[in-house]
Amino acid sequence: MDETAANMKLVPSPEKLMALIDEIVASGWPGRDDDQADYLLRLGFHQSEGQEGFRKGYGYSPGPDSAADLGGELLSAGLAVNDASWSSYKGELFSIGFFVYDGRDSHDTSAVLGYRSIYSQLLSRYGQPTDATVRPYDEATSYWAVDGTGIQMYCYTKPFPLLQLGFSHVSRNAAYEARLTE
């Protein structure tokens, strides 16, 4: 089977994931907690009922005067994603991430094929990544910074194939990471 035919069998399709990436880059990040719910819903995510720290269906930080950070799990009816989550710091959303192509079979090539397809599309839309590393066994990482949004992609093949996508508000993420080193 050629790579194009194999890509057609990926769920979600690389094209669907690229549409989400393009939406995250183009739409910017919400400025306040109250906007998080609408933003995440627009992206196709929702949160399960009963999660701690939830407002309008989404978690929240205690506010801009607090150093507390919160996060929560996300669900998506439109995308076949695993372990999706979000994080906020000082009342501002700064991170969204999830896993796809969870093979659970060491011979499954979905994660590698998905990574290659999405990488190629990111390359054509946004140019060379700021960072890209390929390790043995087709494991790879790449990072783009586009209009204030960081796009991270990781391809794992051991112990089983899995593709991880992460998105961050670059300056908010830097502030959060700086706090961790204090």
Residue-wise pLDDT for 50-81, tens only, equals 554 434 434 444 444 445 456 666 767 777 88
For residues 68 and 58, is the Cβ–Cβ distance under 8 A?
A: no
CB 121 within 8 A of CB 113: no
Write the pLDDT tens digit of every residue in 123-146: 999 999 999 998 877 789 999 999
Q: 18-32, 56-70, 158-172: which range is least confident on average?
A: 56-70
- Domains: count for the chain: 1
DSSP 43: T
Tell me which residue range forms the domain holding 158: 3-181
> What is the per-residue pLDDT across 29-42, written as a single tens digit (0 to 9) for each?
987 666 777 888 88
Distance CA 8, CA 173 (A): 34
**Token couple for 50:** 């009963």
Closest by CA position to 73, among listed 61, 62, 57, 89: 57
pLDDT of residue 74: 74
Cα-Cα-Cα-Cα dihedral sign, residues 111, 114, 120, 122: negative
CA-wise closest residue to 153 among 134, 169, 180, 172:
134
**Could you tell me what percent of the chain has a pLDDT over 90?**
43
Q: Which of 149, 155, 150, 44 is nearest to 100 (CA)?
A: 155
Tell me if the bond preceding 161 is cis, omega within 30° of 0.
Answer: no
Whole-model pTM?
0.84
Q: How far is CA 107 from the centre of its chain?
A: 24
